[in-house]
Structure 1
Amino acid sequence: MLPLLKKEDISTSNQQLPTWALDAYQPFADTVAKKDFPCYFGIAAQKKGDLRYGFVPHDNWDDALQIINDFTKLMHTQEKAVRRGLFLFFEPEETERDLEYYRDYFWRFLQRLHEVDDIAWPAERPRDPDHFLFDYHIGGEAYFLFGNAPAYKQRITRDLGPSLVIGLQPRSIFDGLEGDKPAGTKSRGSVRDRVEKWDQLPKHPDIGHFGDHSHNEWKQYFIGDDAEPIKGGCPFHHKELKHT
């Protein structure tokens, strides 16, 4: 199992890392280092070394749970508030795959993580993805997630290299940047304007902010490569509700 890593740990001198991991990470690092990359929080975090990384082979998804739990522990034990993010890189596919393949992979992975997670979902948090206050929990921690894949051809901000890359942001890093606060509105607006410029597409219709009664956050997790809203129900099913 590969541990939770810092950017300083990811180099050809690290004998633990398979070649595919280095090949998956470098395009991500190059993209996020660009001055005009839309997410300036990501640019700053990568430059300062605040981001953390995990590498997940096709044949062992379950190790990702330990990586995420180690990241959560880091967030809870750090001496000062740092807006950290975790990026999971998955072993690249041998042949080209379409976006639906990666979307299905993404949701199957989230479902598997939930099934093997032995820490209870907080009692006060909704289990139904269609509840406007639903957010995904791992190890008892609330996370916002977003999928990135090489199959994105129009929304190029979502293409971070040759593999599926899942970004995880603890809900706590958005303290002070909530949707109903001026700082949150301003920062989101700025990032979204930059995304539209990069992608040459309007904001995806499912992009919103947490707490909006008309918004389902799960629809933001893996948006389409277009400007069409997500149709159908959420692929994720909470294990407490699956047999009721």
Structure 2
Amino acid sequence: MSTRLTERILFTKDEIEVNSGLLDLWKIKNYQEFRENILDKNCPFPCYFAVDAEKKGHSRYIFCKSAEEEDELLKLRDGIYQYIKSYKEIAKRTTLVWVTKVLRLFIFS
């Protein structure tokens, strides 16, 4: 497994899709489920900006095994910090998606 990817905190759509074989299966499955849900035309997601960011590849993703474990929450903190430092360079409208192993999605637009 690639050390570079396993140590990463903040991911782009392309990094997830191109390197899916290097990521944990739960990350790929939960990302795919999120993407299917947010882009579902039969049950539209209520936030236009989040949908638009997802369609254009402007979303960023943080994966944490748990929403309760201290190490995972520190990872979340570091990912949010990375996002805050870079969001203006991504696009005018971007979205941060926090995905946990037990599928809970937290979307910040």
Answer whether TM exceeds 0.5 for this pair: yes
Identity %: 26
Structure with the higher fraction of residues in helix conformation: 2
The alignment yields a C-alpha RMSD, in angstroms, of 2.1
Instruction: Name the residue aligned to 2:10.
Output: 4
The normalised TM-score by structure 2 is 0.75
Contact 1:12 1:22 in 2 (8 A): no
2:95 is the counterpart of 1:82:
no
Q: How many angstroms apart in 2 are the aligned matches of 1:40 and 1:34?
A: 12
Higher strand proportion (structure 1 or 2): 2
User: Which runs of structure 2 are paired with 1:17-36 in the superposition (5 Å)?
Assistant: 17-35=23-41
Question: Residues of 1 paired with 2:20 and 2:34: CA distance?
Answer: 18
Structure of higher RCO (CA pairs closer than 8 Å, 6+ residues apart): 2
Aligned pair 1:47/2:55, yes or no? yes
Instruction: Specify every segment of 5 or more residues in structure 2 that has no aligned partner in the other structure, as ranges.
Output: 1-6
Question: Does the Cα contact within 8 Å between 2:49 and 2:94 map onto a contact in 1?
Answer: no
SS in structure 2 opposite 1:10? helix
Amino acid at match of 1:84: T
In structure 2, what is the Cα distance between the partners aligned to 1:41 and 1:2? 25
Aligned mates of 1:75, 1:11 — CA distance in 2: 20
Map 1:1-244 onto structure 2 (within 5 A): 1-11=7-17, 13-35=19-41, 37=44, 38-58=46-66, 59=69, 60-61=71-72, 62-76=74-88, 78=89, 82-92=92-102, 163-169=103-109
Choose 1 or 2 for highest CA Rg: 1
Give, in angstroms, the shift of residue 85 of structure 1: 1.2
Contact 1:2/1:17 (CA < 8 Å) preserved in 2? no
Q: TM-score, normalised by structure 1?
A: 0.36
SS in 1 for 2:40: coil
CA distance 1:43–1:168, change in 2 (3 Å): closer
Unaligned stretches of 5+ in structure 1? 93-162, 170-244
Q: Distance in 1 between matches of 2:54 and 2:36?
A: 10
